[in-house]
Amino acid sequence: EATAAAPHVVLLSSPGMGHVAPVAELARRLHDAHGFTATVLTYASSDSAAQRAFLSSLPPAIAAATLPPVHLGDLPAGAAIETLLSVEAERSVPTITSFLSDLKSTTNLVAFVADLFGAATLRAARDAGGVPGFLFFPSNLLMLSLMLHLPRLDAGDDLAAAGEFRHLPDPVRLPGCVPVPGADILQPLQDRSSDAYRWMVRHGERYRDAPAGILVNTFDAAEPATAAALRCPEPWRPPVYPIGPVIRQHHPAAAGGEDATGCIGWLDAQPEGSVLFVSFGSGGALSLAQTRELARGLELAGHRFLWVVRAPTDGGAAAGGDNPGESYYDGSRSKAGDPLGYLPVGFVERTKGLGHVVPSWAPQTRVLAHRATAAMLTHCGWNSVLEAVAAGVPMVAWPLYAEQRQNAVMLCEETMVALRPKVGDANGGLVLAEDVAEVVREVMEGEKGEAARAKVRELKEAARKGVEPGGASYETLAKVVSEWKGAAGY
Ligand code: UDP
């Protein structure tokens, strides 16, 4: 048949839409730009209606397959997510091996790509008869550098003396990277006695020798010094290939159904470059007290905003009724079902002309691309950062978890495309309303905001050119692809 002639690649995604989406986009790029057919392989634990709908919306040349469930019942209750994802990957190696062996006899399988928690599964590519096994790293080069150097840092005297990263007297310095204060280092590394920490060190060890190469969802202009350092071959690690940004595209056919919360309609009615988009990724949520400060701050700042509101992290307690903050919340909405019910009483009415609040979800890439959107307040998840950069939108950095704090350091101190609010140490890390207002005004109308906007527009241009033929990311992926094809006899 016609597709039998095309080279085939299998891409394994860790559970969660935040992992599946960029892996699927990489499959799409390999198809669109390089003539591949692909299988996106997912774990049974991540199977959901939303994920199935997303995967079935991919072009027919990109198939989806789900691995059979693996037994995880022996793990302790409350095991960290890093532990669950890592153990699921380890235990799936035999089924991945036979899956790849089967595909080898029915397709022109030329490569196997696993993502960040899947380094252990690259063994399957070797065991299935020797196709190259690559890693796809969906974060940035700073984060990859940390992973590659983690085994050394973990064994080093500095960390032994300090006990934990946050107690290190000096920032962590990685080749070509902005110095990162220990307290801003990747969240699961903040407790060295945890299983999650041990797993991350083990992944770091595997990154150093398991993959034939590491594809990274970033681009040289975003991290020039780090890219220069990592593009130098080193005997102790695989070659590193920045190939991004690989980000979700909006397809006109799907666009109509995606404005259920009225975001685009509302933006259409706003002046050009007037709106701050506020979003904390697919799962980020704030405490009740922080939600309240953010609301007051947005009101104080006086700029237009579009806010994707989540139920607060400590929302369960507030619903109890004897919470001292209870009277503050808008009792007219059911709290359990509606995140907007946690906003200050009268907030929605008072900010009617100014703001639009939507519960839980917005069509983010469309919002960012809208002419009315001027800036984004973001949790600094790497996909969100890439999407904001691709839209030329400067950011306010509001990191929550994972590697978001180190991303924020990079964006604010090195890349200079984001501003950071003052965080009150005296308030247990709370950002006060006055400080929210100040940083919002600065990004929307201040000099620093203007400088960040100019810088992010440069990066937008570099990102766009980079993924076109002749651009750094395009040519880097093309080189990898031609090695895959060459090794398979194309
Ligand atoms: N996203 C979205 N609408 C929302 C929140 C998130 O479309 O209301 C998308 C966003 O465009 C991005 C992804 O979900 O592609 C979030 O990924 P990111 O790496 O930023 O953060 P994570 O969700 O992994 O914390």
CA 379-383-384 angle, to 5 degrees, is 45
Per the document, the length of the chain is 490
CB of 9 within 6 A of ligand 1: the answer is: no
CA of 372 to the centre of ligand 1 (A): 20
CA of 391 to the centre of ligand 1 (A): 15
CA of 203 to the centre of ligand 1 (A): 24
Using the atom order of ligand 1, give the atom closest to the CA of residue 283: 23
Let me know: does 136 contact 23? Beta carbons within 8 Å.
yes
User: Distance from CA of residue 359 to its chain's centroid?
Assistant: 21
pLDDT value of position 425: 74
Verdict on whether the full-model pTM lies above 0.90:
yes
CB of 18 within 6 A of ligand 1: the answer is: yes
pLDDT in tens, 30-40: 999 999 999 99
In single-letter form, the type of residue at position 448 comes to K
Report the nearest-CA residue for atom 11 of ligand 1: 364
Q: How far apart are CA 418 and CA 52, in angstroms?
A: 35
Pocket of ligand 1, candidates 259, 282, 364, 395: which has the most ligand atoms within 8 Å of its Cβ, to mutate? 282
CB of 359 within 6 A of ligand 1: the answer is: no
List Cα–Cα distances, 14 to 19, 40, 90, 217, 270, in angstroms: 6, 11, 12, 15, 39
Average pLDDT over every residue of 70-80:
93
> By C-alpha distance, which of 31, 41, 91 is closest to 61?
31
Mean residue pLDDT across the chain: 92
pLDDT value of position 337: 64
Report the nearest-CA residue for atom 15 of ligand 1: 383
Residues forming the active site: 19, 115
CA of 366 to the centre of ligand 1 (A): 12
**Bigger pLDDT: 487 or 295?**
295
Q: How far apart are CA 398 and CA 405, in angstroms?
A: 8
Average pLDDT over every residue of 412-430:
90
**How buried is residue 205: exposed, middle or buried, by Cβ count under 10 Å (0-12/13-18/19+)?**
middle
pLDDT greater than 80 at residue 319 = no
Average pLDDT over every residue of 149-173:
98
Q: Given pLDDT bands bounded at 50, 70 and 90, which one contains residue 345?
A: very high
pLDDT value of position 298: 98
Using the atom order of ligand 1, give the atom closest to the CA of residue 282: 23
Q: Give the count of beta carbons closer than 10 Å to the beta carbon of residue 57.
A: 12
Q: How far apart are CA 266 and CA 354, in angstroms?
A: 11
Q: How far apart are CA 416 and CA 248, in angstroms?
A: 24
pLDDT in tens, 427-437: 788 999 999 99
pLDDT in tens, 220-276: 999 999 999 999 999 999 999 999 999 987 654 444 456 888 999 999 999 999 999
Enter the ipTM.
Answer: 0.99
pLDDT value of position 254: 47
Average pLDDT over every residue of 434-455:
98
In single-letter form, the type of residue at position 182 comes to G
pLDDT greater than 60 at residue 323 = no
Pocket of ligand 1, candidates 367, 378, 384, 401: which has the most ligand atoms within 8 Å of its Cβ, to mutate? 384
Average pLDDT over every residue of 36-47:
95
CA of 260 to the centre of ligand 1 (A): 17
Provide, rounded to the nearest whole percent, the portion of the chain with pLDDT above 70.
93
pLDDT greater than 60 at residue 334 = no
pLDDT value of position 326: 38
**Bigger pLDDT: 399 or 5?**
399
Q: Given pLDDT bands bounded at 50, 70 and 90, which one contains residue 2?
A: very low
pLDDT greater than 50 at residue 61 = yes
Using the atom order of ligand 1, give the atom closest to the CA of residue 247: 15
**Bigger pLDDT: 57 or 256?**
57
pLDDT value of position 285: 93
pLDDT greater than 90 at residue 489 = no
pLDDT value of position 426: 74
CA of 440 to the centre of ligand 1 (A): 21
